[in-house]
Amino acid sequence: MQESTVIFLSALAALFAARKVAIKVGLVDRPNIRKKHQGHIPLVGGVSIYMALWVLYMRQPDWLPNFPLYMVCATALLIVGVLDDRYDLPVLPRIGLQTCVAGLMMSAGLYLTTLGSVLFGYELWLGMFGYTVTLFAVWGAINAFNMVDGIDGLLGSLSCVTFGALVVVFYLGGQRDLARWSLCFLAAVLPYTLLNSGLFFGKKFKVFMGDAGSTLVGFSVIWLLILATQGDARVMHPVTALWLIAVPLMDMVAVIIRRISRGNNPFKPDREHLHHILIRAGFTPHQTLAAIVVLAVLFAVAGIICERNSVSESIMLSVFLMAFAGYFGSITLMGRMRVWFRRSVILDR
């Protein structure tokens, strides 16, 4: 608890310091046709988390396996992320860097070797395909948390849900150092979440995470999930990881499917994410935030309960896929009903 308090205060101090610099150098998010906020908001959430991680590294360098390599990867991702936030880089340089850090991870032995016993009791070993699957996992985790950053408080809250779940999983699995590290990362995210949501200090001190921050969060999540699910010291089955990041993952996959089905670039931003759909359906931003966070908590709790009660991995995967099918069908139906309602209003006129 002492370390997490130090990390929280470090992140909070870094946040106030970084936002002043960001305003001076133009590292701010400006409103446009897709972004509806008011004013120029500093993009420093990721910077504050990164600075807090350096404090953690200096105080507890042994808590995370390969902590020095993690910091090298985090530094590279942060630098390119900040440049992207400032100058709006194209997709290829970002994907290229994500590929490089995935390669560094795998060179240290951090990669997926098995997907668990998801084939009706038979363990699915990846063999030579483990590196490819790991690369897609890194891309997926990073972009899932990047894409979900759409309304105030959402990315921070979903990050806290995932890292909070990891604290529980690592603690129950006897990996106390990794539980403490996950708790410290959660503590590093909290100051951003409080300022971003406007719950403390008001709108005057509002900050955004930026691509630098969402990339760092997603990368940290996949790093911990690989540690949690692979090797002799694993504390949960690979399928349980899906439940801990269910909402960002489902939202990303659903959005990509819809974009491709419409012939659009899967990486081109739009307003078709779950939070956009709920707001268009009449929910307020706060109601939308609460609904999505509750959904994420329910998924995470369900995953942990199934893990602790030794529910079959194939059953967990089947239920997860059915949940995604229900999710995708529901948002598709909501979209069609909205189109039908608009047409009805036009015809009535």
- Asked if residue 55 lies in contact with residue 6, where contact means CB atoms within 8 angstroms, the answer is yes
Tally the domains of the chain.
Answer: 1
Mean pLDDT, residues 291-296: 97
Residue 348 pLDDT > 60: no
Residue 22's pLDDT is what?
A: 94
Mapped onto helix, strand or coil, the DSSP state of residue 181 is helix
- pLDDT: which is higher, 349 or 329: 329
Query: Where does the pLDDT of residue 120 fall: very low under 50, low under 70, confident under 90, or very high at 90 and above?
Result: confident
Residue 3's pLDDT is what?
A: 93
Residue 340's pLDDT is what?
A: 64
Residue 247's pLDDT is what?
A: 97
- Give the residue numbers spanning the domain of 342: 2-348
Among 205, 169, 207, 170, CA closest to 189: 207
Burial (CB < 10 A; 0-12, 13-18, 19+), residue 85, is buried
Query: Where does the pLDDT of residue 212 fall: very low under 50, low under 70, confident under 90, or very high at 90 and above?
Result: very high
- Asked if residue 28 lies in contact with residue 40, where contact means CB atoms within 8 angstroms, the answer is yes
Residue 36's pLDDT is what?
A: 52
DSSP 12-60: HHHHHHHHHHHHHHT-EEPP-SS----S-EEB-HHHHHHHHHHHHHHH-
- Residue 224 phi/psi, 5° resolution? -70, -35
How is residue 127 annotated by DSSP?
Answer: G
- Helical spans, DSSP H, in the chain: 2-25, 45-59, 67-87, 91-107, 130-147, 154-172, 176-197, 210-229, 238-244, 246-261, 274-280, 285-308, 313-348
Residue 40's pLDDT is what?
A: 84
Mean pLDDT, residues 23-36: 75
Q: What is the pLDDT of residues 58-102, one digit of tens each?
A: 999 999 999 999 999 999 999 999 999 999 898 899 999 999 999
Annotated binding residues, written as ranges, equal 146, 211
Mean pLDDT, residues 137-166: 95
Query: Where does the pLDDT of residue 343 fall: very low under 50, low under 70, confident under 90, or very high at 90 and above?
Result: low
- pLDDT: which is higher, 305 or 37: 305
Mean pLDDT, residues 146-158: 93
Residue 119's pLDDT is what?
A: 85
* Dist CA 198 CA 98 (whole Å): 31
Residue 198 pLDDT > 80: no
* Dist CA 287 CA 271 (whole Å): 18
Distances (CA, A) of 265 to 97, 245, 252, 271, 281: 20, 24, 14, 14, 25
Mean of per-residue pLDDT scores for the chain: 91
Residue 77's pLDDT is what?
A: 97
Chain length of the chain: 349
Q: What is the pLDDT of residues 266-285, one digit of tens each?
A: 878 888 888 988 998 888 99
Ranking 54-68, 84-98, 170-184, 329-343 by mean pLDDT, the lowest is 329-343
Mean pLDDT, residues 6-30: 93
Residue 129's pLDDT is what?
A: 96
Q: What is the pLDDT of residues 125-142, one digit of tens each?
A: 999 999 999 999 999 999
Query: Where does the pLDDT of residue 250 fall: very low under 50, low under 70, confident under 90, or very high at 90 and above?
Result: very high
Percent of the chain exceeding pLDDT 70 equals 93
Annotated binding residues for Mg(2+), written as ranges, equal 146, 211
Residue 29 pLDDT > 60: yes
Distances (CA, A) of 71 to 32, 65, 108, 250, 317: 34, 11, 13, 28, 33
* Dist CA 315 CA 98 (whole Å): 32
Sign of the dihedral defined by the CA atoms of residues 301, 304, 309, 312, in that order: positive
Mean pLDDT, residues 292-302: 98
Query: Where does the pLDDT of residue 331 fall: very low under 50, low under 70, confident under 90, or very high at 90 and above?
Result: confident
